[in-house]
Structure 1
Amino acid sequence: MITVKENFSSRSVIKKSIFISELSPISSEERAAGLIEETKNKNKRANHYCFAYVLGDNRELQRISDNGEPAGTAGKPILDCIEKNDLSDVLITVTRYFGGIKLGAGGLIRAYSESAEKSIKKAKLFASEKRQVFKISFDYGSFDTLKYFFKKNDIDTSKISFGEKISCEISVKSAKASLSLRKLQIF
């Protein structure tokens, strides 16, 4: 899955209309709704707040809005840019300040596509692999061996606590989870 870690924005002027595109990472529909509302609040005088977002490992959740633009001329072109770049867990909003010149359907599609694509090109994209988290505990005598095992097998540790035994959470790439857990059983 390809996504972003931080927000990226771009600004374009097309036939006197200003288009502000913002690409943001999201993890839920609630987060997307909050960011869309923030965009509206900081651009109160804008004419249109169009968006598209995609969520899920298989990009199963998709939403778009033309927000008053002719149907299919804003949200769909933004979504097409997200899909073309294989992005997921992202929101792109494109805010338009109307400049007085009508662009027509084809012009709007190009303007919204170019605006979305511009923020994607500025973004630092990365491939994200899903991970599974497990809680484990072990004896103190195994600590150094397990630290080496975790490092060698790309297993992240967190929430380490020292009591009668050492306990922690481990994060394993989903694709390697079953193999890593089988290897851990020898400790």
Structure 2
Amino acid sequence: MNFLYTVTKLFKSDYRIKESKFLGYLHPAESKTEADHFLETVKDEHPTATHHCYAWRVNPNKIEEFDQDDGEPSGTAGLPILNALKSADLVNCIMVSVRYYGGTKLGKSGLIDAYGESARQCIEHAVMKEVVPVQTYRIQYNYEHQGIIDKLKNDFTLIELNSVYLEDVTYEFGCPVDEIDRLEGKLKSVTHLFEDFEKTGESFHIKK
């Protein structure tokens, strides 16, 4: 499985070539809505910029991605930004490159290089954290079966999401996707001992 990464705060860059200025903004975004919201923030900050080009990637479990040239020739702005994100295995983030035109045309190849460099410089300055796609589960069990759960925790990289201790224990956790087959193979032999067992969905975990 390829490792994925994200950022948890804003990072910026400032790249200049032939009097044109490219201001890079790399920001967390877990959805298209969050990406769009940040884009509007950048546009409000730079209302007189010539272009606000961007790309985003979200959903570590099934990656969705999008890029926008914002008036630059097709494929010369959003795509090189997106390719920079993909090369760095970044997800759940948006990269915006704001261009102030300096009076000298760069040509298509020059634009591709400039927007790509703007994104790469921003990524180079960023502190990235590993993102682990997980399958989530909920198990309800009697206290007498705590040993089974403890062994699962020892044998697999389980990420605790929530635990409730009442008459029974309800344990909610995530399992990295590359361990799912082994975990579910093990669970088949013990689920009859649980009060309840449910596969609850897909999520992700950001390593500290």
TM-score category by the smaller chain? 0.7 to 0.9
Give 2:7's aligned amino acid.
Answer: K
State yes or no: 1:4 paired with 2:6. Answer: yes
1:88 and 1:73 mapped to 2: Cα distance?
21
Instruction: Report whether the alignment pairs 1:101 with 2:86.
Output: no
What amino acid sits opposite 1:85 in the alignment?
A
What TM-score results when the alignment is normalised by the length of structure 1? 0.84
SS in 2 for 1:64: strand
Deviates more, 1:160-169 or 1:83-92: 83-92
Query: How well do the aligned residues superpose, as a CA RMSD in angstroms?
Result: 2.5
4+ runs of 1 displaced by more than 6 Å?
none
Contact 1:17–1:96 (Cα < 8 Å) also in 2:
yes
One-letter identity of the residue aligned with 2:65: Q
C-alpha separation in 2, matches of 1:40 and 1:8: 16
Note the alpha carbon deviations across 1:54-107, whole angstroms, 9 max, x for none: 345587633221112233221122122223334333321101122333323332
CA distance in structure 1 between the partners assigned to 2:64 and 2:169 by the alignment = 40
Q: Hey, what's the Cα distance between the residues in 1 that align with 2:98 and 2:73?
A: 15
Q: Give me the whole-angstrom Cα distance separating, in 2, the residues matched to 1:84 and 1:155.
A: 28
How far did residue 50 of structure 1 move? 0.3
Following the alignment from structure 1 to structure 2, what is the Cα–Cα distance between the partners of residues 172 and 38?
A: 35
Give unpaired runs (5+ residues) of structure 2: 194-208
Residue-by-residue CA offset, 1:103-156 (whole Å, 9 max, x unaligned): 233322221111011112222344433211111111223336633531442112
Residue 138 (structure 2) aligns with: 135
Amino acid at match of 2:5: T
Partner residue of 1:123 out of 119, 123, 126:
126
Paired residue for 2:50?
47
- Post-superposition Cα deviations, 1:156-186, rounded to whole Å, max 9, x if no partner, equal 2232111110112011112222422443443
Deviations 1:4-37 (A, max 9, x none): 1323221112222221112233322222211211
The separation in 2 between residues aligned to 1:165 and 1:34, in whole angstroms, is 43
Match of 2:29 among 17, 26, 43: 26
Q: 1:111 aligns with which of 111, 114, 117?
A: 114
Alpha carbons of structure 1 residues 35 and 84: separation in structure 2 relative to 1, 3 Å: same
Could you list the runs of 5+ residues in structure 1 that have no partner in the other structure?
A: none
Q: How many equivalent pairs are there?
A: 187
Q: Is the 8 A contact 1:132 1:171 kept in 2?
A: yes
Q: CA separation in 1, counterparts of 2:119 and 2:62?
A: 18
Work out which of the residue numbers 70, 74, 81 in structure 2 matches 1:71: 74
CA 1:162–1:113: 2 relative to 1, 3 Å: same
Contact 2:156 2:179 in 1 (8 A): no
Give identity over the alignment, percent: 29
Matched residue of 2:149: which SS?
A: helix
